Chains A and B, each alone.
Chain A
Amino acid sequence: AQKVTQAQTEISVVEKEDVTLDCVYETRDTTYYLFWYKQPPSGELVFLIRRNSFDEQNEISGRYSWNFQKSTSSFNFTITASQVVDSAVYFCALSEAGQAGTALIFGKGTTLSVSS
């Protein structure tokens, strides 16, 4: 069975601090995709990144970076120099690959609060 675990329910940091959101996944598939989404208070899901299981390269996009390690089944997300606008719920998700339109399995989310 597929499962995504985000052990951190809530994290509070002060602006300019770095923060890492953890994500651990379980799957029997050898081919799969991992995602991170941001959900601000307004509710919409903002796509941040998709990574396939064959690409373990870390990725950096501005203040965001992701560390994918298959050996530990983790796909952690780091925000550098956090800002108040980063306050949101962040979801890690997993889907099977090789099939068009496979549903995402979401973790429970981590609520990040950044104070000024």
Chain B
Amino acid sequence: GAVVSQHPSWVICKSGTSVKIECRSLDFQATTMFWYRQFPKQSLMLMATSNEGSKATYEQGVEKDKFLINHASLTLSTLTVTSAHPEDSSFYICSAAGAGSYNSPLHFGNGTRLTVT
């Protein structure tokens, strides 16, 4: 089946630095990618939706200047957490949907656990 690869699976960074997370669709063209954030023992909350070649749409309360999303190709979307702070420590997970995929489940990456020290 379709696979979404997310990298890295975990990362530890110092406060003030930036971290980039990659989300790749391995065997299909992802016209739309979604980024979710999950704090410990909480649900997955949608952060933003990105369509290939256009600007991402951010959910209310998500700082677009802090969480930079680039969806430059049909197989790759990146989330960059800029000037990370300890409160950004969380589990970030992406999902991807191909064209005409409304009859298929969205495919999720395995997530990235970010720890900011």
Contacts and interface: CB of A to CB of B under 8 A. Distances in A.
B42 to A, nearest CB: 7
Nearest to A93: B44
Q: Classify chain A: how many residues form its interface, as a range.
A: 20 to 34
With most chain A CB atoms within 10 A of its CB, the pick from B93, B102, B110 is B102
Given A43-B110, A44-B110, A100 B98 contact: yes
Q: Classify chain B: how many residues form its interface, as a range.
A: 20 to 34
A43 B45 CA distance: 15
B101 interface: yes
Give the interface SS of chain A, mostly helix, strand, loop or mixed.
Answer: loop
Interface string B61-88: 0000000000000000000000000000
B89 interface: no
A101 B101 contact: yes
A34 B87 CA distance: 32
Nearest to A46: B108
A16 interface: no
